[in-house]
Amino acid sequence: MKVAVVFDTPNDGWDDDDFKREVAAEVEEPEYEVAEALMAKGHTVLLVGVHDDLTHLIERVQQFEPDLVFNCAEGFHGDSRLDYVFPAVLEAEGLRYTGTAPIGLLTSRNKGMSKKLLSYHGVRVPGFVTYRLTDRLTSPPELQFPLFVKPLQEDASAGIAMASVVHDFDHLKERVAHIHESFGQPAIAEEFIEGRELYVSVIGNRPNLETLPIVEMVFDKDRTSPHERIATKSAKWDVPYRERKGIRNVFARPIAQVAAEQIDTLCHLAYRALWLRDYARLDVRLTSDNQVWVIEANANPFISFGHDMANAAEKTGMDYYAFIERLVTIATERYALEA
Ligand SMILES: Nc1ncnc2c1ncn2[C@@H]1O[C@H](COP(=O)(O)OP(=O)(O)OP(=O)(O)O)[C@@H](O)[C@H]1O
Ligand SMILES: [Mg+2]
């Protein structure tokens, strides 16, 4: 097949040749790894990196006449909230592409809107309140403290630290002000869910949804309290910090059968409720009495080699190339069914 790999890039003026050089040099970027996998599987690949000019995307891709576009864009203008722009353009151009459409990207990015949709569909989500930039906090919300305060529309644990857990109204006000100032966007305060931290990757489209082996973030039990057992920015990305704190991402420790079935059912339900497509990752918390809570959905999850989702695929016997090929097949079959 002819597959165009599209992505956002800081490298202004680079073309397919420049990007192919990076692929050959095995530079660690998801778009390069995806391109390498596609080429290894025999596809004809064009890499289209967009710095700040969307007409470049349209011109290059249309000229190439791909059978499919592999969307690797994580944002636009360095803003992850604008990740929906790429699929919106592809949609407008009548192109076939992998992954979730703008509606699903927009609703799941907004951690308040997605929770409303999920609770309508009977998926258990923490109680929450949102604070827009102009809102005044005059009285405590009718929620059970401690609360967990985060930016409404970020990802990769931006703005998430130990101080995100607040035990009283004064600290809530402080943390909300901090989010408003640092991120220039609304804040969401959610009831704190104490439990195991699970990442559930789902691939496919109904009726062929598949849950990949669940990944768990584990913490050194002796050294942390429940409020410290959270996936802060450091817990996710700072390798020395992870080592110091005994934090690791492993395949989930044993999960009771009843909970495992619930996770599967609820994640598939959430996938449909949020209009997720082809592949996504759901962040779930599992309490000690086996209640399953969906914390958030990632409509455009990280699919880099050696990271949670690719590792989960590998566990089922798909190496990285096979995993990427599988996503191509899933998207192609979806379009065939829609035709
Ligand atoms: N209501 C909550 N109760 C307990 N822990 C929470 C809650 N909300 C968030 N957390 C903790 O903070 C982490 C990050 O939250 P969340 O997944 O909403 O942020 P994100 O930045 O979108 O993450 P991602 O890297 O998945 O994009 C969660 O994985 C969990 O450990
Ligand atoms: Mg998350």
Map out the domains of the chain as residue ranges.
2-97, 127-191, 195-338
Q: What percent of the chain has pLDDT over 70?
A: 100
pLDDT, averaged per 10 consecutive residues of the chain (339 residues), comes to 98 97 97 98 98 96 98 96 98 98 98 98 98 97 98 95 97 98 98 98 97 96 86 95 95 97 98 98 98 98 97 98 98 94
Residue 221 has a pLDDT of: 76
CA–centroid distance, 18 to ligand 2, in Å, is 33
- Ligand 1 shell residues, CB under 6 Å: 111, 126, 148, 150, 154-158, 160, 190, 192-193, 197, 230-231, 283, 285, 295-296, 298
Alpha-carbon gap, residue 58 to 55, rounded angstroms: 5
Testing ligand 1's pocket by substitution, the residue of 160, 227, 288 carrying the most ligand atoms inside 8 A of its CB is 160
The sign one gets for the Cα dihedral 132, 134, 135, 136 is positive
Peptide bond into 140 cis (omega under 30): no
Predicted TM-score of the model (pTM): 0.97
- Which of helix, strand or coil describes residue 2? strand
Architecture category of domain 195-338 in CATH: 2-Layer Sandwich (3.30)
Q: For residue range 102-161, what is the model confidence (pLDDT) as tens digits? A: 999 999 999 999 999 999 999 999 999 999 999 999 999 999 999 999 999 999 999 999
CA of 287 to the centre of ligand 2 (A): 17
| CA 114 to ligand 2 center in whole angstroms | 13
- 187-191 and 128-131 as β-strands: parallel, antiparallel, unpaired? antiparallel
CATH number of 127-191: 3.30.1490
Which amino acid appears at position 196 of this protein? R
Residue 84 burial (CB count, 10 A): 23
Give the ligand whose atoms come closest to the C-alpha of residue 247: 1
Answer whether 127-191 and 195-338 agree in fold.
no
